[in-house]
Structure 1
Amino acid sequence: MNIILTENVEGLGTIGDLVKVKPGYARNYLIPGGIAVEANTRNVKQLEHQKRQLERKMQKLTQAAELLKQKIEAVTCSFAHRAGEDGKLFGSVTSMEIEAKLAEAGVEVDRKKIQLVEPIKALGNFEVPVKLQAGVIATIKITVVAAE
């Protein structure tokens, strides 16, 4: 008997998979438990329609993320902090400061998406990845100079 899974079932498949199981397993366990529905033509067409809708939605998210990536990569963030003679900062550049600089440039990014492993504590040029929607990753160019 062919069924469409509505939940992930270990050893059988994931949501939306069309699988063949024994009729008793489907009738007595999967269908009454709401884990699966029978794979008739109506349910198969409905599944295909839902997959097409999700695909369109993912395309729109990807396009929006690509536009945001272009905006982010066009911006170079410059920070002037007090530093010692060896080039170490007396403070650090954090994701909050990076978020504020991007906001000044007109790019709104949540600071949790800025993938700064640890705060920047030295002078120089750095590249920090930003994780956007749909798996798109942008890179921010950051320059840290000594304040006068």
Structure 2
Amino acid sequence: NYLIPRRLAWEANEKNIRRLKEEKRKEGEKDEKILRSAVTFSSKLDKISCTITVKTGESEKIFGAVTSSDIREALISKGINVGKKDILLDEPIKKLGVYTVEVRIHPKVTGRVKVWVVKE
């Protein structure tokens, strides 16, 4: 046999089956713990709002736009570290106002952050 001597597979005896079941159980518990942690973080994130000041013209039109990078920097200043790609923004924000932005925390969990875009 090719797989067993190279330790790429195990013989399907009772001992190895028990060990595999135990590993799957531990992995399931670990995944469940991570998911619970993500849900807890999501509820914390829902209570947070951040303010981004932008330069505007006379008609209160924003110069440029507020992007996910800007939102990420505002969150980092609040002590929340998320990836730029985890901020789910359909398109950059181009007007003043209050926006609810989704943040992916876990593949199954997203949180929401309130973003205030105000003039300088």
TM over 0.5: yes
Deviation per residue, 1:46-103 (Å, 9 max, x gap): 2211111111111221122123212221111112212342x53112112222122112
Is the partner of 1:80 in helix, strand or coil?
Answer: strand
Is the partner of 1:132 in helix, strand or coil?
Answer: strand
Which structure shows the bigger proportion of residues in strand conformation?
A: 1
**Aligned: 1:114 with 2:87:** yes
Take 2:16 and 2:22, find their aligned partners in 1: how far apart are those partners?
10
Deviation per residue, 1:103-141 (Å, 9 max, x gap): 222222222211123221112221111111252111111
Shift of the 122–136 alpha-carbon distance from structure 1 to 2, 3 Å rule, reads same
* Structure 1 residue 45 displacement after superposition: 1.0
Take 1:34 and 1:127, find their aligned partners in 2: how far apart are those partners?
51
The structure showing larger relative contact order (alpha-carbon pairs under 8 Å, at least 6 residues apart) is: 2
Match of 2:71 in 1: 98
Q: After the TM superposition, which residues 8-23 of structure 1 pair with which residues of structure 2 at under 5 Å, given as runs? A: none
Runs of 5+ unmatched residues, structure 1: 1-27
Match of 1:44 in 2: 17
Q: After the TM superposition, which residues 68-107 of structure 1 pair with which residues of structure 2 at under 5 Å, given as runs? A: 68-84=41-57, 85=59, 87-107=60-80
Take 1:113 and 1:103, find their aligned partners in 2: how far apart are those partners?
13
Take 2:107 and 2:29, find their aligned partners in 1: how far apart are those partners?
12
Take 1:130 and 1:107, find their aligned partners in 2: how far apart are those partners?
11
Match of 1:57 in 2: 30
Q: Which is higher, the Rg of structure 1 or of structure 2? A: 1
Match of 2:103 in 1: 130
Runs of 5+ unmatched residues, structure 2: none
Shift of the 90–29 alpha-carbon distance from structure 1 to 2, 3 Å rule, reads same
Identity, % of aligned positions? 37
TM-score under structure 2 length normalisation: 0.79
Is the partner of 2:94 in helix, strand or coil?
Answer: strand
Contact 1:115–1:128 (Cα < 8 Å) also in 2: yes
TM-score under structure 1 length normalisation: 0.66
